[in-house]
Structure 1
Amino acid sequence: MRLDEFDFDLPEELIATRPARPRSAARLLVAEGDRITDAVVRDLGDWLRPGDRLVLNDTRVIPARLSGMRTRAGAEGETSARIEATLLEPGADGTWSALVKPLKKVREGETIRFSEALSAVLEAKGDGQGRLRFNLSGAKFDAALAEAGAMPLPPYIAGRRAADAQDREDYQTVWADKPGAVAAPTASLHFDAPLLDGLAARGVTFSQLTLHVGAGTFLPVKVEDVTTHRMHAEWGEVSERAAAEIAETRAAGGRIIPVGTTALRLIETAARATGQVEPWRGETDIFIYPGFTFRATDALMTNFHLPKSTLLMLVSALMGQERVRAIYAHAVAERYRFFSYGDASLLIPT
């Protein structure tokens, strides 16, 4: 299975740098079997049935992008350099792995100061990343990070504009709860209180689980044979309650519809052992590409994804490669907005 099978031409002007307002005003492409319908997210309920269950990722994005200074004393006096760091994930020893730029300008053992309150020592380097030990922990660290950090916008947005105060609201779901993600579960960004209330009134039910989305979600696939690609691992949890709710919906004949690829990857991970979603906790590196057998997913709500990305491979596994090519050709022709702040699709396989 070749990487170029998942390529397509995308006009740059279709890449969204701000979300629709209100959230549920974004466009919604509904692909059901062989039919494509152009709709709006606020009308999502028209495509769902009483008893369907939406599975939501309740991770909270942390302001993981930091800008600081490294100061070094030398024979020619004191020199300084500006350092950018994007936190990736915490380690069991209290340190954080981070993308540090430029990594070569910081020596192991040196301190980077991000604010008056927050600084970190670079303890180690490896695989293009740094291991940072911060001067604070717990609630004090969270408060200092909230003050000094910026939302970690995807590279295709960050390359066009800097993150600002509005992104702290825009790049967070309305049900965000458990801090730990460095990227948002973006399909969920389309939901607001009126939409949720309207769906509940129609008999649609909801379950929450947690997958802390990592920056690896934006890493390109570099191998020509996509089956040899290795996914980044992300921490997730399916509670006993969520597993029971999904089982009850299945037994009653309702559909299980994850909102976003992160929720889908987690329930499919939790269903690998028995064929049914079980309580589960740990790191998942599940890679879903055409040929994958879905055990928990009946449909998917998701945004439009990057060419040659693992997420495009995932939706191709759900809908079929030729079908996804037609869906994306329609989306481009109809000027849908792409990627994290873009429009949405509801994919219902035959």
Structure 2
Amino acid sequence: LYDTGEFAGHMDRAIERAEWKAFPQRLEQSKVAGRIRGIGMATYIEACAFPGSEPAFVELNGDGTVTLKIGTQTNGQGHATAYAQFLSEKLDLPIEKIHVRQGDTDDLKAGGGTGGSRSIPLGGVSASRAGEDLANKIRRIAADELEASASDIELSGGVARIVGTDRAIDFAGVARAAKTPDDLKGFGEFVQDECTYPNGTHICEVEIDPDTGATEILRYTIVDDFGVTVNPILLAGQVHGGVVQGIGQALTENTVYSEDGQLLTASFMDYAMPRADNFPFFHFETRNVPSTTNALGIKGAGEAGTIGATPAALNAVTDALWRAYGIRHIEMPATPARIWAAIRDASPK
């Protein structure tokens, strides 16, 4: 049961941004150059952040820094930056003073791990709540030290201050003033009962040299709905990397074994890993509709690039082959050799 989304909206925006209506003119330009051209689309929706939770534990250290402990584990997504953002917002503490420790069984009894775009939708919300819990404890300790009400204490740049005065105590001083270790620990756990549903549209445009079967990606357009964006730079990086992985699966990457089971593509001399010069600059934008199943409206984004890219790329290749030669199907990966063979075996329309 999908909670929110503007599915026709992101598809229409992607079509507009990809200049689909002008494709026939670009097709004619390719014909003049002796090449064939195709355009392909894929719209997707996925289920993420499955029901459950990812508790977060945060602690104020003696030097005024803060440590977050959580059961996920980064694979390069930038979790430490995103988690630190949530804590920085609640504690008004510079990100460089926040340490993130993930997936350490010396620290945690249990953790759900990373997968299904659950780290930020679940763990991020828990980190935010843990930061708020610690912020309230810091205010109470500071209020006792400054002889004020906790409601009159503001946190700013690692200092607890009585609002409107210069009377303050830094976080290191708060740590020294704590009566028990638990006074310096915050906890947060967001339990989600339903999945989130990221969705979007990918449009790929390709040109193929019929004499060699080589495919060039000329344009790539992405319009996604990820609910609420936490960090636009991290998000774009995840989407770009996912698109490259998805297109690699569609056009180049192939694991080949001999008849007796010997792996023939065991090194990058033989295995066609996608590289930067295989791709144009991507156009990426969001058309976000906040999730109603997530406390902060976040839907997740980890796998999105791969889901949209593979069918969009293959649809573009197939479209080009169909327009020129009536070819309806080609197996993945659509390598130059496979495309050349398919053209050789077909007759022009």
* TM superposition score category, shorter chain reference: under 0.3
TM-score of the two chains, using structure 2 as the length reference: 0.25
Higher CA-based Rg: 2
Higher helix share: 2
Higher strand share: 1
TM-score of the two chains, using structure 1 as the length reference: 0.25
